[in-house]
Structure 1
């Protein structure tokens, strides 16, 4: 497993490096207009400068704070709702049309409404991110509950345990890998929506606000460097969550590997 992971990382690094080399060569040979698409080396240099820039770090901190609380609120709302809908099939059947109606609505289209409803910038960003991030957690939780072995639930009931005990002792542990997958997907979605809300709505802080300021000053290199940091943050969060899943749910990965 470690060799496979190591080789995967190396291939990923090689792919990114190859892309950067191609973009650098295209810019230096004139195939790309560096006025609109700066050299890869220039963007990397600006990204290094931003790493120690107090103004950018403050904006990044504001975005990370909004992302963290949005993701926490998403988990607090979507996981219990998913457990309830997964266990109570009549409730799930009744709510499913509403879910299928709301889920395809683009979250970006709701940003103007969020601006009107929430005067506080943090609450506005969080509301849009929570809306978008709720669906992967909710749907994965419902599917995880459905995947629970019925025999395990009946066995616990036969020993006199009530519905709450069955959910806590059997349903929730069995559905946990599905919930974790939903949270990992929601983490990426929340990052996207927080920064998008900052770009669209503006404000006084956030990576999106920094990108707007850089664009106003025609600093495309800074815009791309800030965007690159958003991407790196997303990669880091995803890697941490994947590692946590493998450690916490090793039994699930072993079972699914055996099935495949």
Structure 2
């Protein structure tokens, strides 16, 4: 088994305190994926979301499949370093399993601010013998801290190409918290040409009424969700070159034989996905 490193925002590990009495977006997402790391409040909130957006499980699986395809494609392009922010509760295959299946020497750092991910972080540290993985507990709203913590792991070299993955994350960062500014800070620190940015994001463009109702359910459960239009989504990639097919719904992004077996409409997914590289 390859080298492993567990970091927690660059600080010594603290006691994990979970609030299982309030719904959490990561545990609701786990429920939609058919996972078991969720509690009664999460299931109640998820049921309320399903009542207004019944295709939430389809959207979750489409997003997960987009992550798999984009990671595989970037590894096939020769990228061997990945930073996954907003990792969520581990669901195999995780990003490092996809990338290391292409090149066992790939290195991956995972980052999340949810303490429950830390509880399950061991699943994120099962690297190939040739590669390496690490997990840090950090919040994307402090991007400089995230990247400083990444550098402390010594797993990634930010002067070499890095693929930054933020799947189903930035719609939980409203404009008031500077979502686009956060993305720019992260992009600026990935200095090497050929670095990549992978983002999937909830949008109202395909089913505006359903999207509004789903956002309201999350807000009432204590989590702000900001669905963004195609133009707002495109701003995350400013200055970088979009790879084909550009900005499309997640099931339309380079579908493979497996994903093509399930017909998922744009409205079902209600999520954009795209990959861009630093010129």
Structure holding more helix per residue? 1
Q: Same fold (TM over 0.5)?
A: no
- What band does the TM-score fall into relative to the shorter chain? under 0.3
Structure holding more strand per residue? 2
Q: Give the TM-score of the pair, scaled to structure 2.
A: 0.25
Q: Give the TM-score of the pair, scaled to structure 1.
A: 0.26
